[in-house]
Structure 1
Amino acid sequence: MKRLLISLAATLWVAILPAFAQGSGPLRIEITEGVIEPLPFAVPAFLPENPGASQLAEEITRVIAADLANTGLFREIPKQAFISPVTSFSSPVQFSDWKAVNAQALITGAVSTAGGQVTVKFRVFDVFSENQLGDGLQFAGTEASWRRMAHKVADAVYSRITGESGYFDSRVVFVSETGPKNARRKRLAIMDYDGANLQFLTDSSSLVLAPRFSPRGDRVLYTSYDTGVPEVFILDVASVGRRKLANTGGMTFSPRFSPDGSTVAFSLSQGGNTDLHSVPVNGGAVTRLTATTSIDTAPSFSPDGSQIAFESDRSGTQQLYVMPAGGGEAKRISFGQGRYGTPVWSPRGDLIAFTKQNKGRFHIGVMRTDGSEERLLTASFLDEGPTWSPNGRVIMFTRESQGANGAPALYSVDISGRNLRRVPTNNAASDPAWSPLLP
C-alpha cells in the first residue's frame, strides 16, 4: 500500500492512506457564540493487532475520547450502550447499530506494536449519512510517543467535524508553585496541554515569572530574579540550557517573541521609566519602542508581526493600546469601566484577550482588535494572564482562590464563555503559556 510520509519529529511520523477514503458526508459542528448541543460520538476501543498492543490500544482510545469530550463540543456515548462490538478494522461498519444509540460520529481504529514502535490507524464516519469523513490516517512512532499519536488522532477528528484546526497536540509552559502562600517557591514546568508528561525546566532557587513560547515551541522566554533583579532569559526546551537575552543595564520583564521568532519585545525599567523595547533574539542593538513617563508593559505581537498590543497607564489608569511593531503612535482600544491588562493577540488575528479588574472582581475577556465587541468570559476573586490555544478557540489562564490557604490554579474556557474547566497540575500553578501545535 502506497504511503505518503510526512515527518513530525524524530520519533513520530504521519502517513496518509488513500485506500481508506470512501467519500465525505455533511456531518459538521457549526460553532457559534450561542448554546451548543454537544455532538454524540462513539469511539469503540481501538483493536490491538498483536498481543503486545492491548494496553496501548486502550490507553490511546481513552485519550482520544477525553480530548474530544473535554472541548464541550462532543459527548461520548458510553460503551455500555453499544449494540455490537467492532471486531475488525477493515470490516464494513454496521451503521444501523450506531444509529440506534444516536451516535452521529463514529471513530474506529487499530494499534500494533513491533520492536518498540507503535502504529495507530483510524477512520471517522458520519453515521447518519453512512459516509467516511476524509481519508483514513496512520501514525507511527516509538512507544514513548503514544500520547502524541492519540492527540494527533483527536486533532484530525476535531478538524474534520468542526472545520477548525485542532489544539490537542500541544504543550503548556507555566510556573509551578509549592510552599505556603507567603513563601512560595516557583519553578518553570512544561506539560502536555491536558496536564500529562510534566517536566521541570528550572529549579526553585530563584523567582521565575511569565514564561512565553517561541513560535516553534522549542524555546521559552521568562523573567528570573536569579541575579537579584528581574531579567529576561531565553531557555532551550530540549537541552534546558539558558542565557540572558540582553545586557540592558536595567530591570527587564514581560518578554514576548515576534511571530517569526527573530525578535523579542519586552519592558525595560531604567531611570524611573518603564518603556517597551525590542532586541534581536541572536544578539544586537536594543531598540526603544515607547518613550513616555508612564508604565508601558506586556507587549504582544499581532500574528502578522505588524503591530503590538500592550498595556499602559498613560491615560491615568491601566488600559490597552495598539501601535506599529517598530514603535510609533499608539491608539487606545479599551474604554469600558475598570482597568485592563495583559493583552494577548489571538493566533487568528481577530481578537485580543485581556485581564480586566472592575468593582473588586477580575475577568478574562476578549475584544476585537479595534476595541469593539468586548465580551467578558469569566469572573472571580482573581483571574489573570490569558494565553491562546494554537487554533484560537480556547483560552487558558490563572485563577487564584481567596484566603490564607488560597492558591493559583490553571483554568481554560472557550471563547464563547462556555466550558470553564480546571486544568490538572500536580501543584499550584500560574502564568500559563500555550505552545503552537507540535511539529
Structure 2
Amino acid sequence: MRLTALIAPLCLALATLGAQPAMAQSGQPAGEDVVISEGVLRDLPIAIAPFQGPRGQEIAQVISANLERSGFFDPIDPAAFIQQNPGVDVEPQFAQWTQINAQTLLVGQVNVDGDGRLRVNFRLWDTVQQTQLLGFQFTSTPENWRRVAHKISDAVYQRLTGELGYFDTRIVFVAEDGRGPNRTTRLGVMDQDGFNPSYLPATDAIVMTPRFSSTHQRVTYMALGEDYTRIYLLDLETGRQESLGEFEGVVFAPRFSPDGRRIAFSLERGGNSDIYVMTLQGRQLTRLTSDPGIDTSPSFSPDGSRIVFNSDRGGRPRLYVMNADGSGQRPISSGSGNYHTPVWSPCGDMIAFTKQQGGRFHIGVMNASGGGERILSSSYYQEGPTWAPNGRYLMFFRGEAGESPHLWITDVTGRILRPAPYGGAASDPAWSPLLDPPAADFGGAVGASGGSCLAAGG
C-alpha cells in the first residue's frame, strides 16, 4: 500500500447537539466541574457505553483504549453496567451509574444518512452532579469511523482535563527489518494508536529522522545511500516527493521551522559539522554556526525565534540555544553526561533530550532556560524523543542488547511509561500536529493543572 493511501484529508462536520428539556445546555457545564489535576493519584472512573448503531461498539472501544492509555482515565468494564443500552436522547439513570462508581458517562448513537455517511451523536455526563458536560455530532465517510472515535476522544479528554487532546494525530517513523548489514528501513505513517500503518517502498538507502511540518501534512527526512546523503520533502496528501538538492558534504537531522517555510539541518564538511537553514521557496542557504565542534540536531522554539541544538564545542555534547539568526549562542544544559537530540515542546516551556550517562541512555526534559532537568526513562539504549501536540506526552524508540528497537511512550511526569501500540521494529518517531483544529466548544475544566503550558487555549 502506498504511504499516501490513508493520508487523504478528512472533512468532519461538527455540530452542537440540541439540549433536551431535562438536560443542561450542550457543551455548557452545570454545577461543579469534573476536574483532573496533576495531583490525582487515582484515574477517573468513566463509563463508556457501547454506542448504538453501526460501528457503535467499535467506536466506543477505540475511545476507551485512547482514554485508558492517557493515564488519566479508568474505563469501567461494560460487564459491570447496570443500565444497558443507554440512549443518547434521554437522561441516563444516574443512580445506576454512581452505584458502579462511574463519575462520568459517555453515550452515543451512530446513524447512516441517505448519502451513506455516518452521523455520530454523543453526550458526556457528570453522573454525580447529574448534568451534561458535552454534546456534539460528527459526520464522516464510513471508512473514517476511527477518526471520528479519535475526535470524540479528544473532546472528552479536553473537557475533563482542560488540556488539548492528542488522539486525532499520526506518527511518522522508520520501520526496520533485519539487523546489522541486513538491516533495511522504510518510511511509515500510522495513527497514534498504531492502526492504519502505510509505508513507502524500501530502497537501498537508509532513511532516518523523519519530521512533520507543523502547518500541514508534509514530512522531511534524510536518506543515506552508499555514496550520498539527501534531505527529502514528502507531501502526504499528494504523494509528491522532492529533494532539497545536492550539497557539498554530508547533510543530516532536518527539521521544519514552525511556519513550514524553512528547514534547519546539519551539514558536515571537512570533518566539521555546522547548522544551516534553507528556505523552501528559493532554496536560500544560511549558515548559523561556525564553531570547530560538531553542531547538530537543531529544533526551533514554537514561535520560531530560537533554536536549541547539540554541540560538543565545550569538550562533550551539551545543549545550546541561539536566536534563529544564529546570534546569542549559549549553553543551557549543566548536568553531567552527554546530551543529544533536543526537541522543543510545542508549548515552548520545555525541551526534551536524550542523555548518555553511566553506561545507559536516558530520556529527559528540562525547562527551556536549562533548569529543572528530570529523567523520565532509562534503558540500555533509547533515543529520539518527539512531543505530542499538547506538550504532555513523548514518544521515543528503545532497544535492548541484541534486539531491534521499538517505540515507547512516556509523559512529562514519568508516571506513564509503556510500549507504543505498534508491534513492529521501529525508530525515529515524529508526532504530527492535530489533523484538524480543535473545537472551541469542547471547553475545559477550569482549574485543571498540567504542570506546564498545556491548557486548551495556550
TM tier relative to shorter chain: over 0.9
Paired residue for 1:412, among 403, 409, 413? 409
Task: Give the AA of the match of 1:423.
Answer: A
Partner of 1:373: 372
Q: Which residue of 2 aligns with 1:348?
A: 347
Quote the residue 2:301 is aligned against: 302
CA separation of 1:233/1:227 partners in 2, compared to 1, >3 Å: closer, same or farther?
A: farther
**Structure 1 residue aligned with 2:32, among 20, 26, 46?**
26
- Deviation of 1:13 after TM superposition, in Å, equals 2.2
Give me the whole-angstrom Cα distance separating, in 2, the residues matched to 1:35 and 1:414: 15
Separation of aligned partners in 1, 2:176 and 2:387: 22
Distance 2:154 2:80 in 1: 25
1:4 alignment partner in structure 2: none
Q: Which has the higher contact order (CA 8 A, sep 6+)?
A: 2
Report what 2:56 is aligned to. Answer: 57
C-alpha spacing 1:410/1:370, structure 2 compared with 1 (3 Å): same
1:309-345 deviations in Å (ceiling 9; x for gaps): 0000000000000000111121101111101011100
Q: Say if 1:189 and 1:202, in contact at 8 Å, map to a contact too.
A: no
**2:391 match:** 392
334-343 or 232-241, larger mean C-alpha shift? 232-241
2-structure distance, mates of 1:103, 1:27: 15
Which residue of 2 is the match for residue 129 of structure 1? 129
Give the corresponding residue for 2:445: none
Unaligned runs of 5+ in 1: 1-7
Equivalent positions of 1:81-230 (< 5 A) are: 81-114=80-113, 115-134=115-134, 136-226=135-225, 228-230=227-229
Q: 1:246 to 1:31 in 2, by over 3 A?
A: farther
The equivalences for 1:244-393 within 5 A come to 244-393=243-392
1:66 aligns with 2:65: yes
Instruction: Using the TM superposition, give the Cα deviation of residue 10 of structure 1 relative to its aligned residue in structure 2, in angstroms.
Output: 4.4
| Counterpart residue identity of residue 36, structure 1 | L
Distance 1:127 1:314 in 2: 59
Q: Matched residues in 2 for 1:10 and 1:428: separation?
A: 29
1:377 partner SS? strand
Q: What amino acid maps onto 1:148 in structure 2?
A: R
Unpaired runs of 5+ residues, structure 2, are: 1-7, 437-458
- Tell me the secondary structure at the aligned position of residue 372 of structure 2: coil
- Kindly provide the amino acid, as one letter, of the partner of residue 34 in structure 2: R
Larger CA deviation: 290-299 vs 19-28: 19-28
Aligned-pair distance for 1:79? Answer: 1.0
Q: CA deviation at 1:359?
A: 0.5
Q: Structure 2 length normalisation: TM-score?
A: 0.89
Tell me if the contact between 2:17 and 2:121 (Cα under 8 Å) persists in the aligned partners.
no
Kept in 1: contact 2:333–2:370 (CA 8 A): yes
- What's 1:42 paired with? 47
State TM-score, norm by structure 1.
Answer: 0.93
The Cα shift of 1:217 comes to 4.0
More divergent stretch after superposition (301-310 vs 280-289): 280-289
Q: 1:5 is matched with which residue?
A: none
Q: Give the secondary structure class of the aligned counterpart of 2:228.
A: coil
Percent identity of the aligned residues? 46
User: 1:18 Cα deviation (Å)?
Assistant: 4.3
Contact 1:29 1:39 in 2 (8 A): no
User: Following the alignment from structure 1 to structure 2, what is the Cα–Cα distance between the partners of residues 62 and 10?
Assistant: 21
Preserved CA contact (<8 Å) 1:298 1:342: yes
SS in 1 for 2:98: helix
CA contact (8 A) 1:26 1:126 kept: no
Please tell me the residue identity of whatever aligns with 2:341.
T
Quote how far apart the aligned CAs of 1:249 are. Answer: 1.8
Bigger mean CA deviation after superposition, 314-323 or 417-426: 417-426
Number of the residue aligned with 2:456: none
Per-residue CA distance 1:194-238 (angstroms, 9 max, x = gap): 100000034233110000001134110000024732221111112
Residue 268 of structure 2 aligns with an amino acid whose one-letter code is S
The 1-side partners of 2:59 and 2:227 are apart by: 46
